[in-house]
Structure 1
Amino acid sequence: MSDRDRYRPVPQGRLNRLAALGQIAGGVASGVVSEGLSRLAKGERPHLRDLLLTPSNARKAADQLSRMRGAAMKLGQMVSLDPGEFLPPELQAIFSQLRSSAHFMSPGQLSASLASAWGPDWRRHFSRFDVTPMAAASIGQVHRAVLISGRSLAVKVQYPGVARSIDSDIDNVATFLRLSGLVPAGLDLAQHLAEARRQLHEEADYLREAEQMRRFRALLAGDARFVVPAPVEELLRPTVLPMDFVEGVPIERLAAVPEATRETAMRALADLALSELFTLGVMQTDPNFGNYLWRPEDGRIALLDFGAVRPVMPDSAESYRRLLQAILSGRNETVRAAFLDMGYLSSAQVARHGRMLDEMMSTVLEYVLQAPEGLVDFSDRGPLVAVRERSQSLFADRSLWTLPSPDKMFLQRKITGMALLALKLRVRLPVVEMLSRHA
């Protein structure tokens, strides 16, 4: 898709955004009918959820969500983090688009947004302002600019109407999930959707994000491994966040550099996540790879996004510490008890699938605790595939699905994202050594 094709006005107003979601539902529904008739003609008896998750339907949904932006796209991003082992490759390739390729707002909307924030003569602040964004995501897009003073900036501009649309988007997506059958009827998502709603409102407040950026600059001031840009106070607005421009390359490109360099960078990010969880008491919970840049000239990692920063509740940190200790103990029953305590497993699941769960845990514990030279090899996907194969019956038993607290879910999203980045970069890490420092 060319940049010209990516310019789309952001749909505003509840009815317009509901209509956009209706286009998703309509397109998917027609795809379900077509695919269902095709499979019936072959003598198959397809399930509705299998028809919903076809590559064609996923492509339609991903494209429409990227046009909508806002909370609807953000929720799509939250479910798109997958290492390529649990979703079919076709679906993973499509959903991964949501992490990096939102449509751009139209030039008219951009100009109106900046005029609303800085006044009609907003260009007087700049010697250069690139109208074409260098990045676009669910809440806003980022532009390169240079102040009259010569200071280079990255300017994050929020999509118009996004903050106002959060509540209705989440309500509409919740309705879609209920009607689709993708979520078991007995699984109560109300608490989790309410927390998602609250966090998305926080992410849409750029004054709050600037405050968190300053907070992390102070927390990491003595850590030479990281770079945190500073906001430009005089141009900061609730919907516009100007910050220092940081040169660097996308973190995924580290996959092509020497092993030692990859592992140094990945260990820094893993150390930071563990410190956030157990020491700092605050975590940036969005693991989108676009939130990180690597600087080849000095090996430092730039941290770019602080919208999803949240406090770590003491009980959640303690639960993860008990899980960490259980893993280091090497005992299946201790790990199982920790997962039960956290709400990731239910007693009914253990009663029905206990043997399979023990096999999964044994695979993971061997992978971590018996790694050659103490280095867990994240380029070896064998254990992941083995766990996936053993877990099929657990996932299929939808009546027993359970969820931990929303706070743990957001923390786990960051932890999972770091593991997926380690897989992508094919690194070897001293996991036991790293975990032991927080046990």
Structure 2
Amino acid sequence: MSDRDRYRPVPQGRLSRLAALGQIAGGVASGMVAEGLSRLAKGERPHLRDLLLTPSNALKAAEQLSRMRGAAMKLGQMISLEPGEFLPPELQSIFAQLRSSAHFMPPSQLSASLSSAWGPDWRRHFSQFETTPIAAASIGQVHRGILSSGRPVAVKVQYPGVLQSIDSDIDNVATFLRLSGLLPAGLDIAPHLAEAKRQLREEADYLREAEEMRRFGSLLADDDRFVVPAPVEDLLRPTVLPMDFVEGAPLETLAHAPQTQRDAAMQAISELALRELFVFGHMQTDPNFANYLWRPSDGRVALLDFGAVRPVSPESARDYHLLLQATLGGDPKAVRDALMQMRYLSRAQTERYGRTLDEMTRVVLDHVLKAPEGLVDFSDRGPLVEIRERAVPIFADRALWALPAPDKMFLQRKITGLALLSMKLRVRMPLSAMLRDYA
């Protein structure tokens, strides 16, 4: 898709956003009918979920969510965070579109947003401002500029109407999920939807994000592995966040770097997550590739996004500490008990699939605790494939699905996301030694 094709106004009104979601439903429904007729003609009896999760339907949904931006796209990004072994290659590549970029605001909508924040003469603050974004995501897009003082900056501009549309977007997407049959009828997701709304409202508050940026700048001031930009205080607004422009390469480019550089960068990011969980009491919970830059010149990692920083409750820190100790102890039953305490597993699941769950846990424990030279090789996907094969009947038993406490879902998203980044970058890490520092 060329940059010219990516300019789309952000639908702002409640009805216009509902209509956009309706277009997803309509497009998917027509695709389901066509696919269903095709399979019937071949003598097959397709199931509803099989018709829903086709590559063509995923492409329609991803494209429309990318045009909408806001909470609807953010939910799509969260849902898409899965390892390749659990998604067909077609769906994996399509969902990657949601993680990488959104459409752009047209220049007129951008100028109106900046005029609202800084006044109609907003350009007087800059000697140079690039109207073509250097990045676009679910909540806002980022522009490069140079202030009149000569300071290079990156300016994050929030899409208009995003904050006001969060509740309705999430409610509407949840309705479509229920109607689709993807969620078990008895699964209570109301607390998790409420938590998602709360977190997304916080992400849309750029004053709060600037505060977290200052917090992490202070916490990491003596850690030369990281670069944390500082906000431009006098131009900071609730919907506009100017910050230092940081030079660097996309984190994905690490995939082509020497093994030692890949390992060092990913170990730094992973150790930061452990400190966030057990020391800082605040964790940046969005593991998106775009939230990091890698600097080949000095090997440092730039941290770019602090909107998804959230406090870690003492209860959650305690529960993860118990899980960490159970893991290091190498006891599958203790790990199972810890996961039940965190509500990742239900008692009914453990009663029906206890032996299988213990076998899956043993695969993970052996991979972590018996790694040659103490280095876990994340390029070895054999354990993940082995777990997937054992997990199929458990996932299929939808009546026993369990959800953890809402606050843990966002923490776990970061932890799972870092594991997937490590696989993507084929890193090796002394994981058990890293964990023992916090046991």
Q: For this structure pair, what is the TM-score category when the shorter chain's length is used for normalisation?
A: over 0.9
Aligned to 1:216: 216
Q: Match of 2:285?
A: 285
2:315 and 2:154 mapped to 1: Cα distance?
Answer: 37
How far does residue 5 in structure 1 lie from its aligned partner after superposition?
Answer: 0.1
Question: What is the TM-score of this pair, normalised by structure 2?
Answer: 0.99
Which runs of no fewer than 5 residues in structure 2 stay unpaired?
A: none
Deviation readout 1:369-389 (Å, 9 max, x if unpaired): 111111000000010011011
Residue aligning to 1:150:
150
1:107 is matched with 107
Q: What are the equivalent positions in structure 2 for 1:23-102 lying under 5 Å apart?
A: 23-102=23-102
Q: What pairs up with 1:37-436 in 2 under 5 angstroms? A: 37-436=37-436
What secondary structure, in the 3-state scheme, does the structure 2 residue paired with 1:141 have?
strand
Identical-pair percentage:
77
Give the SS at the match of 1:403: coil
CA shift, 1:81, in A, is 1.0
Which whole-Å CA distance do the structure 1 matches of 2:83 and 2:168 have between them?
Answer: 31
The 2-side partners of 1:252 and 1:79 are apart by 21
Structure 2 Cα separation of the partners of residues 423 and 282 of structure 1: 25
Deviation at residue 303 of structure 1 after TM alignment: 0.3
SS of the residue aligned with 1:310?
strand
CA distance in 1, matches of 2:391, 2:380: 19
CA offsets 1:261-303 (integer angstroms, 9 cap, x no match): 1101011000000000011100000111100001111111100
Task: Provide the rounded CA distance (Å) in 2 between the counterparts of 1:382 and 1:360.
Answer: 12
AA at the equivalent of 2:277: L
TM-score (norm. length: structure 1): 0.99
- Provide the rounded CA distance (Å) in 2 between the counterparts of 1:416 and 1:42: 39
Residue 102 of structure 1, CA deviation: 0.2
In structure 2, give the amino acid aligned to 1:335: V
Q: 2 CA distance for matches of 1:268 and 1:196? A: 28
AA of the residue aligned to 2:39: R
Range moving further from structure 2, 247-256 or 354-363: 354-363
Corresponding residue SS for 2:23: helix
**Equivalents in 2 of 1:101, 1:223: separation in Å?**
30
Distance 2:374 2:262 in 1: 17
SS at match of 1:247: coil
Secondary structure at the counterpart of residue 184 of structure 1:
coil
SS of the residue corresponding to residue 142 of structure 1 reads strand
Distance of 1:276 and 1:358 partners within structure 2? 29
Structure 2 Cα separation of the partners of residues 233 and 322 of structure 1:
41
3-state SS of the aligned residue for 1:214?
A: helix
Aligned-partner Cα distance in 2 for 1:237–1:332: 50
1:55-91 deviation digits (Å, cap 9, x = unpaired) = 0000000000000000000000011112211011110
The secondary structure found in structure 2 opposite 1:164 is helix
Q: Cα distance, 1:238 vs. partner?
A: 0.5
Task: Give the match's secondary structure for 2:438.
Answer: coil
Distance 1:39 1:396 in 2: 22
Give me the CA root mean square deviation. 0.6
Residue 42 of structure 1: CA displacement? 1.6
User: Partner of 2:8 in structure 1?
Assistant: 8
Deviation string 1:151-184 (CA, Å, 9 cap, x unpaired) is: 0000000001111110110110111111111111
Distance of 1:316 and 1:393 partners within structure 2: 29
Give the stretch that moved more between structures: 347-356 or 245-254: 347-356
SS in 2 for 1:178: helix
Q: Name the amino acid aligned to 1:160.
A: P
Question: What is the identity, as a one-letter code, of the residue corresponding to 2:328?
Answer: L
Deviation, structure 1 residue 396: 0.3
**Deviation of the 1:41 alpha carbon:** 1.7
TM superposition outliers: structure 1 runs of 4+ over 3 Å: none
The one-letter code sitting in structure 2 at the alignment partner of 1:236 is L
SS at match of 1:155: strand
Amino acid at match of 2:399: S
